[in-house]
Structure 1
């Protein structure tokens, strides 16, 4: 076909116009959803899928300003620990003194028997001998002042045999609960240490005293250091004690547990690869895409699941083993409860978004915690999932804790065994119950599971 000369500019114009349109069309990117750290942002037009938690703003270092309040039980039931001037008890007091003197916040000394009173260091050093322990009663609950009356931050360290004369260890636990555990970031630790002992054991509730002598590791009588204050201060103090323990006082018979409502977890756990093969009709691609809209993980621990029409009609299950990342020495949760957030892509072109669904029954997650292993089983029913794209997060929250089982070996069970402590289980159970009551409001997240699901 021959073209007239005046037709050439028209053809050139339309060719350029088409090229521009094609180029613009190629440059236009469809919106997509991208995994982010919680609070993170994505480019305009895209949708953020928050998964990992951001930096914990609540964690602070309290040791630089916490004043150590070193308090001694001065009742007569402590005499047996100090008859041997080189006992583990006396050596531990000296260790506590050395570490406390070096504390950046300084140290104060106190004595508890019929009540609490401040003492100077000269009087504290008398506790290295039996003559210090002349008190007729031991009112441990009075050791812990109301925080409202305290100026500055304190770490209270109480050395005692946990045998208050009124026998009411629950009163001690209740005082700790009301004045400390309910406050953000506070904790209580119990540190049991075996020591040589020769003297009378005074059981609680004014039960008859009995003689006891224990000079070996197997027969040593335990005493306890109660630590109450900010979790970070307790953690740093115990690390320093262990580091300064050049005589290995804490090596043979020692047990430490920290009770805290909101510092149990060092870091939440996140999804790892499923241990089992995927069920029939289920695939786990690197991304999801439907109607030109895509979901990408953005290097977040999001598992994508694509549910096809030929998937099994029965409920499917995926199993995982995650590492439980606890803070050292903290009492572990014995009950984890899943908390779900289910969102579905709304497919609206003008304002695409993932919209919360009131129905949270898309997934069913069960978990178990054994030592440092967190077993997780995720179940879902393909037939109950409508076509579309979903983003689901499940937070496994700690709802209760319990003291380690090893502490049961430290309780005498009412058998007048001087190598153990009467009423210890009651005290530990009380601490567990009180900490659990606080956890119902604070509920630390042990693990977060993030899923992108596509139903074809």
Structure 2
């Protein structure tokens, strides 16, 4: 009653009271509205230069470099159709079928590199090619190496018989000229018929005669093609060799590159394999009353999780597809380093701020057979109420050695023509240099993004 009387006789005051009430109601309403955040999980950034080198170039400067020393003559002595000769023919055809435009040059090398024409190159299938005088008495692979370029591919054909000191020299030159400049090294290994002399074996540079006549391919003498250039051009040339018939020739192939993938694996809902858990919710958005978190795009590979104090700290097995670059050395399955970014939303700043929480841990990594496996363990008791953002970048730190490196390797004093002296130390040295670069560059093979709400 009193209130009615007051309102009736004081119209100005009534208007002021109504306005203030409306403003207070609106302020209360909007003051309690949660903030909005959209999050994504972008692929790790790479330089334009690195991305370009994963693709083949449209035009190519191609160099064939054939070891012209006497140790190579045994592949063609009375062997007109040896696997060595077949490989040379496959290389020649791949240069014309693989690119619309390829400027091809040919060289014979020993202690120095000698330009030759294609007609002379084709004579590498004949003994006369390897009878060229004192400049070709010793094989110096380092003399054949050229500086790399994005559109340049060098193919060095040799039996890899080098003095021990020369092995280290070639390793260092290959690493400095190619790997350290962002290029790759491919090694194609072929077992071929042989009838002749094997030179420069071991520290004492022994020679011995060897013939595969009447023997199975297990006794054939190894020959190697080093492919030097960008990963894209190496991989494309090898593809052409396979299409043209390389699979009919017993061979092994590997690419040394500190970049093992083109794109990192992510938590793609259509590909991730993980068992559902009743004590962990996986909603499409998060909302704790102060913050609403949504994906920037529906397809963004961010996994939303809601946990409570009742969520068990039992690890969950997670499996993702692993798409390694074709031909590259396989990474050591468990040699994985994690770079975490951990943040918690702060209502005062209305931003995510760095956190040192151990509430989400990814352990027990295993990368092999086309998949990445790990265990995701949420420790709810390590999380305060609120919303967290986690990003884990997984980078490999080492490679495994293919079995054939050891099988094809001859140790000191072993005069076995079916093997190559110093092969394993040579390839292992390249592996170690590649692994060192990988540790420095930290290529990301998996980027895992989570948004976690603790109730």
The 1:55/1:413 distance shift into structure 2, 3 A limit, reads: closer
Matched-pair contact (CA < 8 Å) for 1:170–1:426: no
* Aligned position for 1:425: 424
1:176 & 1:121 partners in 2: Cα distance? Answer: 26
Single out whichever of 52-61 and 373-382 deviates more from structure 2.
52-61
Count of residue pairs the alignment pairs up: 424
Residue 345 of structure 1 deviates from its aligned partner by 0.5
- CA distance in 1: counterparts of 2:29 and 2:114, whole angstroms: 81
Task: After superposing the two structures, state which structure 1 stretch, 155-164 or 57-66, moved more.
Answer: 57-66
Task: Give 1:112's aligned residue.
Answer: 109
CA contact (8 A) 2:329 2:399 kept: yes
Q: In the alignment, which of 319, 325, 332 is matched to residue 327 of structure 1?
A: 325
Matched with 2:4 is none
Match of 1:390 among 385, 388, 391: 388
SS in 2 for 1:132: helix
The 3 A distance-change label for structure 1 pair 127 and 94 is same
What per-residue deviation string (whole Å, max 9, x for no partner) do you get for residues 275-319 of structure 1?
3453x743333322112412223432222222212234xx43121
Give, in angstroms, the shift of residue 101 of structure 1: 4.7
Measure, in 1, the Cα distance between the counterparts of 2:33 and 2:168: 64
Structure 2 distance, partners of 1:309, 1:336, is 31
Equivalent residue number for residue 124 of structure 2: 127
Q: 1:445 maps to which residue? A: 444
TM (norm. structure 1) is: 0.83
Give the equivalent residue in structure 1 for 2:38.
34
The equivalences for 1:272-287 within 5 A come to 273=272, 275-278=274-277, 281-287=279-285
Q: Which one is further off, 303-312 or 423-432?
A: 303-312
1:268 aligns with 2:264: yes
- Which residue of structure 2 aligns with residue 236 of structure 1? 236
What is the aligned counterpart of 2:62 among 68, 89, 101?
68
SS of residue paired to 2:224: strand
Picking from 364, 367, 372, the partner of 1:366 is 364
Q: Write the distance in 2 (CA, Å) between the matches of 1:403 and 1:266.
A: 21
SS of the residue aligned with 2:92? Answer: helix
- Bigger share in helix: 2
CA distance in 1, matches of 2:61, 2:273: 48
Q: TM-score, normalised by structure 2?
A: 0.83
CA deviation map 1:59-89 (0-9, x unaligned) = 1245224311110011111111112121111
Query: How much has 1:229 moved relative to structure 2?
Result: 0.7
Partner of 1:49: none
Report the Cα distance in structure 2 between the residues aligned to 1:433 and 1:453, rounded to whole angstroms: 39
Change beyond 3 A, Cα 1:305–1:37: closer
Shift of 1:153: 3.9
User: Residues 74 and 132 of structure 1 are in contact (CA less than 8 Å); yes or no, is this contact kept in structure 2?
Assistant: yes
2:158 maps to which residue? 160
By how many angstroms is 1:33 displaced?
A: 2.3
Instruction: After TM superposition, give the deviation of residue 364 of structure 1 in Å.
Output: 4.2
2-structure distance, mates of 1:55, 1:146: 24
* Cα distance in 2, alignment partners of residues 133 and 259 from structure 1: 30
Structure 1 Cα separation of the partners of residues 327 and 231 of structure 2: 11
Query: 1:20-419 residue pairs with structure 2 within 5 A?
Result: 30-38=34-42, 52-53=43-44, 57=48, 58-60=50-52, 61-83=55-77, 84-101=79-96, 103=99, 104-134=101-131, 135-147=136-148, 153-165=151-163, 168-184=166-182, 186-202=183-199, 203-205=201-203, 206-214=205-213, 216-243=216-243, 245=244, 248-262=245-259, 264-271=260-267, 273=272, 275-278=274-277, 281-298=279-296, 299=298, 300-312=300-312, 315-334=313-332, 335-348=335-348, 351-357=349-355, 362-414=360-412, 415-419=414-418
Which residue does 1:46 correspond to in 2? Answer: none
The offset of 1:445, in angstroms, is: 0.8
> Which residue does 2:3 correspond to in 1?
none
C-alpha displacement at 1:159, in angstroms? Answer: 0.7
1:269–1:446 CA contact under 8 A, matched in 2: yes
CA contact (8 A) 1:37 1:54 kept: no
CA RMSD of aligned residues (A): 3.3
SS of corresponding position for 1:265: coil
Distance across 2 between alignment mates of 1:56 and 1:404: 30
Distance 1:115 1:402 in 2: 35
- Name the SS of the counterpart of 1:209 in structure 2: strand
Deviation at 1:140, TM superposition (A): 1.0
Contact 1:196 1:216 in 2 (8 A): no
Q: Are the equivalent residues in 2 in contact too, given 1:88–1:249 (CA < 8 A)?
A: no
